[in-house]
């Protein structure tokens, strides 16, 4: 049995799942039938492409953007236990879309990354970028520099959440990003360590429960 990474693209978004129990030696591409616009299957261990369909079509990548947000944050070696504040400007950076997080409240950087990855909290992704050395715009530049370093030649980021459809990539490029993200223990842990998680905020003190957006993790079949 080998680890395989499977990416399913639709016109609006991409979902990512990693399976540990797929026998890749018996995978027959001719038997695969998918409704997704673009697919990509890669062996996580070797990097070998097992199957592809329209894998170089450029399209919005939605919340998979947050994997790059997490990598750039971790690459900066910023303290994960440091409290960061959610601001009105952060809301503007996620286009004033709804969030249960209250403006002015605080949460540690690690917990902020946790809820961004496991439950796709857009305000958390905006706050991580805003609390980067040099600020939000420097963070976006770092995201694009990281993409270039990973060989993601058809990828471009304009925000840290994935809400903007101008965050674009291809299945082939996203496979490179996900393989890189898989090497970060924090990203693996925050993404897969439970179906639910409670975040404890301060100023004011309150708590919010978050559900993992990955159905495989909720069903205890994710890795």
**Active site residue ranges:** 63, 66, 120
Alpha-carbon span 39 to 134, nearest angstrom:
36
With a CB cutoff of 8 Å and minimum separation 6, the contacts of 145 are: none
- Please say whether the beta carbons of 177 and 169 come within 8 A: yes
Structure token digits, residue 72: 């750039």
**Could you count the other beta carbons within 10 Å of the beta carbon of residue 197?**
17
Q: Strand, helix or coil at 119?
A: helix
d(CA 203, CA 120): 23
Bridge partners of residue 9, in order along the sequence: 14, 38
Q: Which of 167, 170, 171, 159 is nearest to 116 (CA)?
A: 159
Strand pairing class (83-85; 14-22): unpaired
In DSSP notation, 85-104 reads E--HHHHHHTTT---SSPTT
Find how far residue 36's CA is from the centre of its chain.
Answer: 19
């Amino acid at each position: 049995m080998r680890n395989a990474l499977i990416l399913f693209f639709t016109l609006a978004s991409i979902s990512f799942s990693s399976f540990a129990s797929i026998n890749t030696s018996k995978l027959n591409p001719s038997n695969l039938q998918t409704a997704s616009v673009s697919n990509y299957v890669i062996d996580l261990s070797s990097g070998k492409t097992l199957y592809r369909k329209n894998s170089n079509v450029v399209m919005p990548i939605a919340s998979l953007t947050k994997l790059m947000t997490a990598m750039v944050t971790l690459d900066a070696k910023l303290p994960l236990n440091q409290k960061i504040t959610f601001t009105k400007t952060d809301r503007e950076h996620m286009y004033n879309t709804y969030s249960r997080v209250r403006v002015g409240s605080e949460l540690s950087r690690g917990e902020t990354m946790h809820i961004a990855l496991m439950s796709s909290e857009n305000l958390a992704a905006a706050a991580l970028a805003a609390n980067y050395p040099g600020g939000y715009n420097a963070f976006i530049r770092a995201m694009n520099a990281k993409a270039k370093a990973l060989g993601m030649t058809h990828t471009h980021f304009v925000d840290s959440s994935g809400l903007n459809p101008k965050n674009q990539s291809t299945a082939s490029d996203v496979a490179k990003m996900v393989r890189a993200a898989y090497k970060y223990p924090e990203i693996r842990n925050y993404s897969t360590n439970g179906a639910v998680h409670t975040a404890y905020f301060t100023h004011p003190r309150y708590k919010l429960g978050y559900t993992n957006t990955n159905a495989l993790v909720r069903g205890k079949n994710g890795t």
